[in-house]
Every structure is written in structure tokens, then in C-alpha cells.
Structure 1
Amino acid sequence: MKTIIRISTYWQIQFIGWVTASLYWGLSAFFSGNFIWKIGIADLILDVTIGIALTHLYRNFALKRGWTKLNLKQLVPKMLFGILVLATVYMFLIVGKLYLVRLFILKSNPLSFMVFFQSVQLQIFITGTRLMSIWILAYHLYHYSRLELQTVKENARLSVIIKEAQLNNLSAQLNPHFFFNALNNIKFLVLENPNSARRAIDLLSELLRNSLNSNIGRLVPLNDEINLVRDYLELEKIRFEERLEIKIEITADVSKHLILPFSIQSLVENAIKHGIEKRKIGGCITVKVEEEYNVMKISVQNSGKLSNEIKGSGIGLNNLKERLLLQYNGNASFEIKEIDNETVVATLLLPSR
């Protein structure tokens, strides 16, 4: 079985870049009419070798010193110093290369090395400065962009972790609140109607099972939330008897949508506590779930009036608002208002998923 040797992107770019630069100089000499093939090939090999060697040494030095992790204010002086040093070394090496190649291939050179050096040093230094500036700038821009991207990813990851912690904290806060109210209901039923109390205990155990399942993930199937609401309303129906009328109208496909756990139940519980419970004659709870233009509209309507107590800092509604903001990043909305005939409507608008 043959082993495939993979060349890293760094070495591919190094080779392609320096070969391209050397070929450009060779073509310039070729079209000027002063081209000698042996010198051209020797220059190509040595130019690529010198360019790769110098920049690779700089790369290793920069990595060892941790320059790739510096901010721009710290990095710029070091880059300028590196360009100056590399350009100077490049000048000496290229001038020596030009002199020796022509000496060995042409077998003669009418100029001494010092005279030759003085005649071409400035041009070679400028060329070296240009090349090293391009290479160093490109190298550090690449690492700087990667560092910025890594920072963005890390901040995003931390943001998700914080959001998860906040959601978990809110869920932990909500569950005891819900079950405390349910147990209070059963306490009254035990005294007034023991048979109904047994059914209420069965419903509460089902509610507990559903809520524990809901804590597995941040979102739950909408169908599970509807079943939770049905059980809760049945539990309240046992307590209120004929004082509570229940209507559940669903026109959306609840099997394919996800929702925050206890989101609808919180609205129903609020409607019971601030609406039905305060009316001697009771009233009606209507739960509607519909989908319009890729928006899931969930409304809970109850008999009663919208008092300042309902608008206040109740744990259920405040908890719901915070969880909606965290989960949907402002793309979900919640509104509660009073309409005609002593009716209050709480509406959730959620993006369809």
C-alpha cells in the first residue's frame, strides 16, 4: 500500500510564492535580451532557496517568541525590525549569489566583489524590503485573523454556556413554584372531595413525570407541552368544578414544533390565579395554537380583568419573558392585554421551527 505524502498549505504557499517571484525576474531578463539559461536556472533555484530559508527562519523565531499572539500595538515594531533584518540578510545573500553564479558560469568577472556589491546593493535591498514586507505582513495578518476568529468563537462558546446556565437556573426556579401551587390544590381537595383528590394525585404524578422529561433538553415538543396543559387544566377542573370551562383549539401541527417547557402552562396558571380564582362565578380558559406565516401563535384567553397585579413581577410571567429572550434572542414576543367583555388574552409569538 502506497503512503501518500501530504504537503502542508504553508509549504505549498512558500514554494508557489517564491517560484512565482523568481520566474517573474527571469522573464524580465528574458525579454530584455540578456538572458542566459544556465544563469536563469541557477538563479531560480537559489532565489527560491534563499527566500524560503529566510522566511522559514523568521517563522520559527516568531512562533518561539509568541509573536503570533501579540496585539497590533505590540506586533508592529517587531514586524518592522524583522523586515529590516531580513532585507539586510537577503541583500548580502542575493548579491553574493549573483556574483558567484556569474563567476562560475561565465568563468570570469571583470569587477571585484566590493565594486559589484556597491553597484547593486541599494536595488537589492529595496527589492528585499518589498518582498519581506509582503511576506511578513501576509503571515501576521493570517495569524491575526485566526486569533480574532478564535476569540470570536470562544466568546460565542462562553455566551452559550452562560445562556445555558441562565436557562437551567430559571427552570430550576420554575418547577418548585409550579408544584407548590399544585400541591396546595390537592390539599383543598383532600378535605372536600377525597375521590377527586386521588385523581388529582394521579394527574400530579403525570405532571411530575412530564416535567422531569422536559428538563432533559432546553426545548420540548409542542405536543408534550399541550399534554402538560391538558393535565394541569384537568387538575384545576377537579378543584373548580362547574366554575371552570375549558376550551383547547389547535390548528397547527404540534408534533413537529419545539417550545420552551412550561411556557404555555405558565400562561394558563396565570389565567387561573388572576382570573378564574378571583371570580365567584368562575369563567372560561381558552387555549389556541395556530401557525401563520412561519410564526407560531399561542394565546391563552381567560375571563377576568387585567389588574396591576397581573402586570407586576409574578414569577411565572417574568420567568417566561427571560427565557424567551435568552432562547430566541429577541425573535419571540409576549403580550398580555385586556379586551372587551372582561376578557384577558396572553399571546406568544414564536418563530416556527
Structure 2
Amino acid sequence: MKIITGISTYWKIQFIGWITASLYWGLSAFLSGNFIWKLGIADLILDIFIGITLTHIYRNFALKKGWNKLNLKRLVPKIALSILILSLLYMFLIVSKLYLVRLLVLKNATVSFITFFKAAQLQVFITGTRLMSIWVLAYHLYHYSRLKIETIKENARLSIIIKEAQLNNLSAQLNPHFFFNSLNNIKFLVLENPDSARRAIDLLSELLRNSLNNNIMRLVSINDEINLVKDYLELEKIRFEERLQIKIETSIDLSKYSILPLSIQTLVENAIKHGIEKRKMGGFIMIKVDEENNFIKISVKNSGNISQEIKTSGIGLNNLKERLLLQYNGNAFFDIKEMEDETVLATILIPSK
């Protein structure tokens, strides 16, 4: 049993294929009524041996010459010539086998080998051509498909490596951007409210710890991202006081869904920098997360206008667009637009399944 299970797939196919072909010919002879058991058994064994020997020699030769790596244009002529040679060899060996077996078993030499060969050669050659064509084409088709599959796998692997490198590069850009924005906030607090600055430094250390940890992972839960945003908004609230109103609404279980690290955070930073900060009376930021048509919809609405700076050189938003494109292969969407009531609405849609 161990010997059978240890046989390679190639040899299993060889034995099964040639045994099946030989049994078919034996069955045909049996049904014709001219079947002799000794001849049938001898033909069966020798047919299997000849078929396996010829094809195995060809396989070793093709592997040695590297034919399995050739393109079709270079391979086809070699296959055609090989089939012709294999068919001629098959014809000579099978005809010789038929003559010798009948000579030894029936002990009947009424015709010479040349006469017997001339009578049987055409039929055996046609049979050999058919068999060798099937075997050689199937063999090379198998290896050609394997080569294509390996090429596709390798291309996919390289694509993943490139994508990961791009995502890591974008994330590396994002952390300094987030860090400098936060330090800039504390700078204002140190000058205006030293007591609040201490709380701001605590918040910043927590923010940086969370952002650095999250940045190690490809995705984080939306719940973790929202908690990060809450800490950031608390830091901003210390600076803006009553000039900043905050509202967060969610209608789904945030822990069940994942998102790119610092994605909502980027929208909130953008809302503060280009919206609230530039308005004397400040304004509001409203964050809403819900599910809509098999997408998780994340919207950040804030007081303000879309400036030319955002359209042309917004590092955070451009970074976010690229990361969404890479991570979700074009199946995620990002949009930012100015509303009629001097508000800006930024929306992220990511697949929920």
C-alpha cells in the first residue's frame, strides 16, 4: 500500500493511461472472436512497456533540452518532429512485437518479417501517430498551463509586495504629518494656557502611541480609529474651547469593521486646519458612521469652505486617496465637496463584505 501511495502523479498517469489503452485493444480483439489468451496477455504487457518506454524517454529528453520553458512558436516545430519520430519508433517496435509474439506463441512462421511488416505498418503507424500526438500534446499542455499559473502567481506576489511597499511609504509620510500638526496645536496652548498644555502633552503621547501601533497593521477596527479621533478632538477642544462643537454618530457595531489607520483622523485634521481654524467664530465637526448598500459610509462634515490649498497640495487627502485605491483595488471611494450652507462634507465608502 505504501508503494502505491508513494508513486508520483506522473507514473500513475503513465500506468493508468497505457493500461487503459492496452485493455481497450485487448477487449476489441476479444469481442472479435479471434482472441487467444496467451497472445492477449503478452500483447498487454508489451504494449504497456513500449508505450511507457517511448514516452518516458521523450519526457527525459524534453526536460534535458528545456522544451517545457519554450514559447509556442519555438515549441510547435519540435513537437511535430518528435511525434513523427515517436510514431515511427512505435510502428517498428509494435510490428516487431506482434511478429515475435506470434512466432513464439503460435510457432508459426508462414510469412517473413518483411512481408508481415509491410502488411501491418500503415495501420500501426496511424495508431502510433494518434497515441503519440495525444500524449505529447497533453504533456506539453500540462506544463504550459503550469508555467502560466506560476507566472500569474509570481506576478500576483510581486504586485502584493509592491502594494505593501507603497502602503508602507504612504503610512511613513502620514505619521510625521500627524505629529507636526499635533505639535503645532500644543505650541498654541503653551503660549495661551500652560496648564492646559500639560493635558495636551498627555493626549499627544497617547495619540502617538496609538497611531504608531496602528500603523504597524494594515487595517484597524473602526472603533479603535474613532477612539483615536476622540483623543485628537479632545486635544483640539482644549485649544479652541467653545469655538469647536463636536458630534459623533454611529449606527453600527464599529468593532466588526476595519479601516485604514488614520483615515478618519486625516479627515478630522483637514476639517480643523482648513475649516475651524480659519473661522473667527469656529464651527462644528460632525462624524457619522453607518452602513449603506454593502458599504460602510464614513462622513465628516465641518464648518468651512474648500480652499485652493486643499485642491492642489493637500498631503493628507492625497495620501488617503492613494491608500484607499491600493488597499481596496479601486472598490473604495472618497469624495469631498462644499455644501451650500458654508460646510464641507468628506465621505469615505469602503466595502462592508
Bigger Cα displacement from structure 2, 214-223 vs 196-205: 214-223
* 1:10 pairs with 2:10: yes
State the alpha-carbon separation in 2 of the partners of residues 285 and 311 from structure 1: 20
Residue identity in the other structure for 1:216: I
Alignment of 1:89-128 (within 5 A): 89-128=89-128
State the alpha-carbon separation in 2 of the partners of residues 304 and 16 from structure 1: 76
Residue identity in the other structure for 1:226: I
State the alpha-carbon separation in 2 of the partners of residues 177 and 216 from structure 1: 17
| Cα distance, 1:63 vs structure 2 | 1.4
Residue identity in the other structure for 1:43: D
State the alpha-carbon separation in 2 of the partners of residues 287 and 195 from structure 1: 29
State the alpha-carbon separation in 2 of the partners of residues 243 and 343 from structure 1: 15
Alignment of 1:22-171 (within 5 A): 22-171=22-171
State the alpha-carbon separation in 1 of the partners of residues 190 and 84 from structure 2: 89
State the alpha-carbon separation in 1 of the partners of residues 66 and 259 from structure 2: 47
| Cα distance, 1:293 vs structure 2 | 3.5
Alignment of 1:276-295 (within 5 A): 276-295=276-295
State the alpha-carbon separation in 2 of the partners of residues 23 and 207 from structure 1: 76
| Cα distance, 1:312 vs structure 2 | 2.6
Residue identity in the other structure for 1:36: I
State the alpha-carbon separation in 1 of the partners of residues 3 and 224 from structure 2: 53
Secondary structure class of the residue paired with 2:313: coil
State the alpha-carbon separation in 1 of the partners of residues 97 and 3 from structure 2: 35
| Corresponding residue of 2:309 | 309
Secondary structure class of the residue paired with 1:144: helix
| Cα distance, 1:3 vs structure 2 | 4.7
| Corresponding residue of 1:213 | 213
| Cα distance, 1:31 vs structure 2 | 2.4
Bigger Cα displacement from structure 2, 129-138 vs 117-126: 117-126
| Cα distance, 1:34 vs structure 2 | 2.1
State the alpha-carbon separation in 1 of the partners of residues 239 and 168 from structure 2: 31
State the alpha-carbon separation in 1 of the partners of residues 30 and 3 from structure 2: 38
Bigger Cα displacement from structure 2, 22-31 vs 103-112: 22-31
State the alpha-carbon separation in 2 of the partners of residues 279 and 319 from structure 1: 25
Give the TM-score of the pair, scaled to structure 2: 0.97
| Corresponding residue of 1:296 | 296
| Corresponding residue of 2:245 | 245
State the alpha-carbon separation in 2 of the partners of residues 350 and 213 from structure 1: 22
| Corresponding residue of 2:260 | 260
Q: Deviations over 1:296-328 (max 9, x none)?
A: 110000011223333333100000000000000
State the alpha-carbon separation in 1 of the partners of residues 214 and 304 from structure 2: 31
Residue identity in the other structure for 2:59: R
Q: Percent identity between the aligned chains?
A: 78
State the alpha-carbon separation in 2 of the partners of residues 118 and 276 from structure 1: 100
Residue identity in the other structure for 1:254: L
Residue identity in the other structure for 2:135: W
Q: Deviations over 1:143-162 (max 9, x none)?
A: 11011000000000000000
Moved beyond 6 Å, runs of 4+: none
Residue identity in the other structure for 1:240: F
Structure 1 vs Structure 2 CA RMSD: 1.3
State the alpha-carbon separation in 2 of the partners of residues 236 and 111 from structure 1: 107
State the alpha-carbon separation in 2 of the partners of residues 181 and 317 from structure 1: 14
| Cα distance, 1:216 vs structure 2 | 1.8
| Cα distance, 1:340 vs structure 2 | 2.8
Give the TM-score of the pair, scaled to structure 1: 0.97
Bigger Cα displacement from structure 2, 279-288 vs 8-17: 8-17
5+ residue gaps, structure 1, are none
| Cα distance, 1:4 vs structure 2 | 5.5
Bigger Cα displacement from structure 2, 45-54 vs 302-311: 302-311
Secondary structure class of the residue paired with 1:281: coil
Bigger Cα displacement from structure 2, 50-59 vs 117-126: 117-126
Q: Deviations over 1:220-267 (max 9, x none)?
A: 111111011001111111111111111111211111111100100100
State the alpha-carbon separation in 2 of the partners of residues 9 and 16 from structure 1: 10
Secondary structure class of the residue paired with 1:109: coil
| Cα distance, 1:5 vs structure 2 | 4.2
State the alpha-carbon separation in 1 of the partners of residues 311 and 191 from structure 2: 33
